[in-house]
Amino acid sequence: MFRNLMVPLDGSSLAEVALPAARMLGEILNAKILLVHLVEKNAPSEIHGDRHLSSVQEALDYLDEVAERAFPHDMHVECHVHETEVENVAKGLVEHTQEVNIDMVVMCTHGSSGPYQWIFGSIAQQVINLGVTPVMLIHPDPKNPQQDFHCKHLLVPLDGNAEHEYGLRAAEGLASACKSSMHLMMVVYTPGTLPGERAATHIFMPRASAVALDLKEEEGYQYLQKVKVMLEEKIPSVSYEIMRGDPTRTIVTAAQHSHADLIVMGTHGKTQTESFWSGSVTPRVMARTHLPMLLVPIPPEHRLGID
């Protein structure tokens, strides 16, 4: 399922946080690794004290050095530098995923403001918004910049919507290849965590609202049980649970309690980055956890709502 992986690099040590994940996935999936750098127009000379690659030759030398240093000699690793300067790096990366049939982008990001909210944070968001290729997001750990990547326990939040099962399909393929366990979960609101208009409805019709939430929970158990049975044909270890509360906080808590290595979610792209980043569960989860996340964009023709 994932045979061609792309790792965008800009010359900084922070971007290299994605390399251990790319190496491990390349080994397990027998995938080809494409290290990519796009020469940015009017690029800054430094990013957080590290050089920012600004010339074609410098970028080629750097990518060759990374390929030699970070990957086994028997792994299929290629290097590519886009020589024409680009103004929109994210758009250029998305175009490259389409041109060379990339199955997954593996890159560093950070979901909050502060010293690590650098260019790759914004680029990661835009790559998800603009593209249809799954994106593996790796959070930097300042204390352990080359932390190991593991893929033994996957957490897959679902909500019963068929469109979000695009994330489930990717998780199934990854779990099968990595021999991972998979924990499915669904979050049902409590009356106190209902958002927006639904909270107002509860105020005026509390009993009807409570009944609707209980029914959602009951339907959720039936749905997850069916998914579990389907998955067990390929994945021996599948568990599931339904939790009540705020989806963002509950997913992050479940990831901790289940000792997840990776959270896999289907997500909607949006035409405006700010709309995507502030208005859906997926990016809010990413901002609250340091676990790697595999985000699987839902094809535009199947996007019905928000995450």
| CA-angle at 261, arms to 258 and 266, nearest 5° | 90
DSSP single-letter state for residue 116? T
Distance (Å, whole) CA 282 – CA 186: 14
> What does the pLDDT read at residue 146?
65
For the chain, what is the mean pLDDT?
84
Q: Would you say how long the chain is, in residues?
A: 307
Q: Which residue has the tokens 């979000």?
A: 164
Q: Flag whether pLDDT at 9 surpasses 70.
A: yes
pLDDT tens-digit readout, 67-82? 999 999 999 999 999 8
Greater confidence (41 vs 302) lies with 41
Q: Which domains does the chain have, with CATH numbers?
A: 4-138 (3.40.50.620), 153-292 (3.40.50.620)
Q: Flag whether pLDDT at 114 surpasses 80.
A: no
pLDDT tens-digit readout, 10-65? 888 888 999 999 999 999 999 999 999 988 777 666 665 677 777 889 899 999 99
Percent pLDDT > 90 in the chain is 50
Band of pLDDT at residue 286, cut at 50, 70 and 90: confident
Whole-model pTM: value is 0.87
Both ends of the chain: CA-CA distance in Å?
Answer: 24
Q: Flag whether pLDDT at 237 surpasses 90.
A: yes
